[in-house]
Structures are given as C-alpha cells and as structure tokens.
Structure 1
C-alpha cells in the first residue's frame, strides 16, 4: 500500500481538538487524531515509510489575557504494513494575568487503517484515546489558588475517540466522535474563595465560567471539510471545522450534586486556512490558521479560542 505519507501531517488539537479551534478541539484535541488530521496527502506514488516524526508549535488566544502555547512531538509508526500508530505528546505553556503554568499536556494515541483504497480516493478509519497527564488541579506557584481550566495543562479526563475520512486529490472530508470515559476532572477553581484575595485584576470573565468544578464534559461530534489546491511542492487548503456537543456538560451544584448545564450543547464553528511545502520526499513544513466563527452559548470551562496558529515540520524515515 502507498498510504503512509497521507497519515503524516499536523497535530489538537488541537483537535483538537482541543477540539482545532474553538471550544472542544484545541484542548480536547480529537480533531487532529488519525483519520481526522488536516492537510492529509493523496498520493499513490510515495512508498510506505517505516517511521515519521513531526515537531510542531501551537499558539492560541483565549477570551482573556491568557495565551496558550504548546510544543508538540508527533510520532508515526507503521504496524504490519496495515496500520498506522500515532503518538502525540504536547508540552503546554500558558501565560496571562494570573501568571504562568507549564507542563506535559494530554497524550493522544490513535490507530488508523486504510479501509478502502481506490485509484481515485482512500477511506481511512481511526480508533484512539486521550490520556490525562495530571488531575487538572494545578495551583498558582506559591499559593493555594487553583488555576481555572483554561490555565491547566490537562483536561483531566480519559477520552475515547473514533473517526473516519475520505481523501482524494481535491478534498478531505472527515468525521469524528469523542466520548469522555471517566467523565469528571478534579479541577476545584473557585474565584470567590479567599485564596484568590491577592489578585487585584478583573475576575468577571472567570466568574462567568466558574462552574467547572469537577466538570463532566459532554460528547463531541466533529466534521472537517477541506479543499486542497495542489502543486508540485506547494499545497494550499481552506476549510471549515464544525464541532457539535451533543450532550450537556454537568457540574456540581451547591448541594454537591451533579446537574446538567443549559447552553453547553450546540455548534462551535471555525474557518481553517493551511499551507504545506515539501522540501523533498522526506520532509516538509505545514502551517495552519484557525479562526473562530461561532461558539456555543456557554462554555463552563472557559476553554474557547478566538484563533489559533500552528507550524509543523515533518521528517519521514
């Protein structure tokens, strides 16, 4: 099979995915796993490779002062010539009015198989998982104040991911499903407690998103529509990334019981723009910009991104 290079591209990743590139993918990240990855190549003339490594840089702007940055290592392995294993490890750095936080982010694992191979198109299928690297309860250095969710390096939940994609020379169309298996994180951020009395800045936004304590995220469904314009070494692409949360988030109320949160279902839509340049058959650069178009009515964790940009270098062995 001559499929491997189309499985090697960008990280969310933003998303995920997060869910790229609004709430749900730049952090949850499943939009950039396996068959759902952006900017996949359709080329029948490149032989299968044993291994690939992608080094990437991601930056996202939150609705507050916080800037979220990540350095990402993305490893690709071929298994038996039939499966592709992707292992994605981000190192997160968040900086804003509350200070800064950094550490290894959630690890993504995905196994992809080419389900149908035709001269005109391929169809891929993916199963995967997101593995948390901490309890999403990191505190401000030197204080007892717990960072809000958008300052955390991990979502704090184990997630199952499934997806598929259709690829030809002009189009990439993919669908994905993300289901938290262990639903709740262990974040205990509370803007009203005395541990935040030291902070003299504005707290209005975080108080509006102060119901994420031990949050149980809902289920996300995503699609990616990407139109590619290919030249010998250079490829442009434009697309849309709709992510729909089909079940409501749940949070603890004053009686310490879970209740469903209104306004947490619905559509988050982003526009995508990409540029790919191949130096040779072994390496290339990939640049992607995502711009939020619309978002859900209410995001209890405050993880919405206004826009994101990512730059990635891939080397194939």
Structure 2
C-alpha cells in the first residue's frame, strides 16, 4: 500500500492540472469489456458519469448506462447508451449520444494466461448537427460524432497483467455538422462542416493491485491511441480540406480505483492524464480535466 498511495496521489494531481479525455468515439470505454474476471451472476448493470472541462472552458458531463448479459463463463453481450450535455460561451446543449452493442469471447484459460476478443458496433443518435438558438455549434458541444463504427479487439491476460489492443473503424459517416469558425466570431474551435473522422487504434497495458481485504482494487494503466490519418471537412467553397495536425499519437496515463461494497456491488473512480497529445483534435475530445464515477451491480 505504501507504493500504491504515491502513484494514486500523483495521478490525481496531474489530472487536476491537465488531463485529456481519451475518445468520445468510444474506443477507450469499450476496452472495459476486456475484463477477464469470471462473473458468477448472469446480469450486470453499470451507471456512470464523466465530468470534463474542454476547450474554451466548455464543461461537459457524459452519462451512460450499460447492461451486460453473461451467457456462459466465456461469452457475454453488452449494450450501452450515452447521454451528454455541454455548456460554454455558445450556451448549453444536451442530447443522447451513441448506443453500443459489444460481444466478448474468452478463449480456454491456460495456466496464468488467457486470451479474449471483442467485436461490436456503435450507433449514433444524432448527426452531430445540433444547434443552439439556431446557430451551428462545434463538435465540442455535440453528443455524438454521427458515425456508425465497427469495433474489434483482442486481449492477453497474464497473472495480474492485461495487454489489449482495439480498432475503431467508422463505416458509415452521417456527420452533418455545419460549423464554420469564419462565421462564429471565435477561433477557439476549428471548422468541422460535414466532418469526416479517421479510425483509431488503441494499445493498453493494465496492472491490477488489490488490498489484503480485497475491498480496494487499483488498476494503473497506460494507453496508446493512434489516430490513423488527418480528419477533414468541407470548406466554405465546398471543397474537402484536411485538418493538419489531427493525425497522430496520444499517450494517456490512467488510474482506476474501485471499492467493493459487497459481493454484488462496487463503485469506481477513474482519473487520467496525458503524456503525449495530438496537435489538434477537431472532434472535440480535448479535456483539461477529466474524472469518471461508476456504480456497478450484478444480479
């Protein structure tokens, strides 16, 4: 525990000073489906909320509910629905964001080792074209990026270590955003008219620590997220233009701390801080502060 406390405090301080959310597109959060803990209960519910402070002091609160059905010790299906609200100089806007359907399959366990895989889809509830008082707003205020995505991943568990990778691939782009910074009166956000987003790949290393009484669990992990190409938008002349600096690597340090209330319920706190970030994130995912809280119950 003496070694755990300094790491926990360091990540909290870093998060307060500067933190960057991983991806509203979803590739980080669905990584939780990689969990190799065998669930004795058939059903599970998660209720969570993430607080973030973004560009130009935009405050966002993203909430979600997830239902998981364990059909066997090896196979489970999860459904997730998100709702997001953003407030800033443009005003306040809230909307249901995305729905996810994720399947997880665990291969036969070997001594201290196990492989598992996931496959799923993301479905948007909006086309990222929400407005405030009739005016177009940037993606920082949007609850969804408006894309239908395929998500695939694989993980390897060895004792207390987990190593997983995933790909999030937009397959249908229904983004109808119409924001132009030229007409907005501010340069805080890049133009994202008819925005097109490139895929993301993720690699995560995760280590699990538990206290003697098994009540507290600490999962420090390191995430590498690479954005595969430059995003683009249609400029005021109707030509598609790439957004320079939107391709590249983000490296996030993350700490997940959970407390077991009883054998069926737990609460979880997640804090993150970046070590490397992309030059520009037109998708509106930049955060100066991020903190997440989750309640989990199985039955």
Per-residue Cα deviation, 1:203-240 (whole angstroms, up to 9, x for no partner): 2312xx12x11111011101111222122221112121
**Are the structure 2 counterparts of residues 293 and 184 from structure 1 closer, same or farther at C-alpha, using a change threshold of 3 Å?**
farther
How many residues are treated as equivalent by the alignment? 279
Contact 1:77 1:86 in 2 (8 A): yes
Q: Which residue does 1:138 correspond to in 2?
A: 130
Q: Residues 1-317 of structure 1 correspond to what in structure 2 (within 5 A)?
A: 22=20, 25-33=22-30, 36-37=31-32, 40=35, 42=37, 48-79=40-71, 82-140=74-132, 143-183=133-173, 185-193=175-183, 196=184, 203-206=186-189, 209-210=190-191, 212-231=192-211, 232-317=214-299
Q: Say if 1:41 and 1:286 are closer, same or farther in 2 by CA, change over 3 A.
A: farther
Using a 3 Å threshold, how does the CA distance of structure 1 residues 121 and 286 change in structure 2: closer, same or farther? farther
1:259 Cα deviation (Å)?
3.4
1:49, distance to aligned residue in structure 2 (A) = 1.9
Counterpart secondary structure, 1:240: strand
When the two structures are superposed, what TM-score results if normalisation uses the length of structure 2? 0.86
Offset, 1:80: 5.5
Contact 1:276 1:284 in 2 (8 A): yes
Could you say what secondary structure the match of 1:204 adopts? coil
Q: Secondary structure at the match of 1:37?
A: helix
Distance 1:172 1:96 in 2: 38
TM norm structure 1: 0.82
The range that moved more, 126-135 or 224-233, is: 224-233
Report how far residue 121 of structure 1 moved. 2.5
What is the deviation of 1:184? 5.0
Structure 1 unaligned spans of 5+: 1-20, 198-202
Note the residue ranges of structure 2 that are not aligned, 5 or more in a row: 1-18
Alpha-carbon deviations, 1:63-85, whole Å to 9, x = none?
22111102211110123654211
Q: Is the 8 A contact 1:219 1:246 kept in 2?
A: yes
Structure 2 counterpart SS, 1:64: helix
Q: Deviations over 1:258-277 (max 9, x none)?
A: 23333221101111012111
- How many Å separate the matches in 2 of 1:147 and 1:311? 28
